[in-house]
Structures are given as structure tokens and as C-alpha cells.
Amino acid sequence: IDKPFEIVDTIDFKFDVYIDDNYHINSICQHKDSLFLVLSFKEKAPSKILEISKKDYQPLSIIENIGQFNHDIIVTDEYIYSLSTKTGELVEYNRNDKTITKYNVCMDNDYWWLRGMKRINDSIYVFIGENWKTTIKIPMIVVKEFDMNSKKMLSTNLIALKASCYQII
């Protein structure tokens, strides 16, 4: 955040970028004049959200410690939501008072993993599928509805699948 970004023509990648994994972008969202990037760093450090200007791509703000292995992002005027797949939580960042609240979505991460989320009206639907490390194949997705006004999980539904699902967009 202290250094301006620069646009480059080429990048020299190491043979295996995962050996020295650095923060990498897992999700991106546009809200008004900003782009919000979810930065994940495997298990080495907590995830972050970086806000950059759409005009010149310079950093505007950074939100630290939002979870582990975070994916997906939903941004409103008041809140930013992301999924901490390592802890099984929906993370809510209050943009006004700068507080973080975590809502438990998925208890047993040995078998289940947060796969994505979608906002429809005032609800966020969180999709939960099998953990990619498990040897047990679970041919279904669990869908949990989170009410953004009451801050409560409203319902849980199951969707049967013929195969595993690893990402919901």
C-alpha cells in the first residue's frame, strides 16, 4: 500500500510459483470508482482486501486479517463480505466503523469447503461443497442463505449433483 503500482509489459515467473507463494488475487469486485481485490497467501498469513482506484490503479486502502484462504467478495456502500474457506466463515467488514464480524457457515472443514457466494436482494447465498483434500466424494452442494439485514442464517438447502463442484460464480 505504501508503494505505487506500475503497469509492466512482462513478468518473469519462477518455474513453480507455489514454492515461494506470495499474496495472490483470489477474487475481484468493482464498486463505484474502486476495485476490491481479495489477496490470499496460503497458510503463511491471513488474507487481505486491497482497494484500488479504477482510474489509475493506485492503492486506496487495505483491510487486514479477514480470514484464511479467502475467496469471493461482495461490496456494498456499508459492508464488504468475503468467505474464509479455511475457517468456514462469512466475514463481514463494516466500512463505517472498521469492525470485522465473522459468521459461522461450515463447521467441519475436513469434509466441506466454501465454494462461492452470490448476493440476491438482501440475502447472500453461500455454496458449500466437498473439501478438495477429502477422499470421500460428496455429490451435493449445501446452500445457506444469510440475511444481510437481520445478520442471521435463514435457511439451508441441498442440491444434488452428479459430480463434485469446486467453484460457484
Rounded to two decimals, what is the model's pTM? 0.84
Q: How many other CB atoms are found less than 10 A from the CB of residue 93?
A: 19
Own/partner contacts of 14-22, CB < 8 Å, gap of 24 or more, are 18/42
Q: Among the listed ranges 48-52, 63-67, 163-167, which one has the minimum average pLDDT value?
A: 163-167
pLDDT digits (tens, 9 = 90+) for 95-145: 999 999 999 998 766 667 788 899 999 999 998 887 766 666 667 788 999
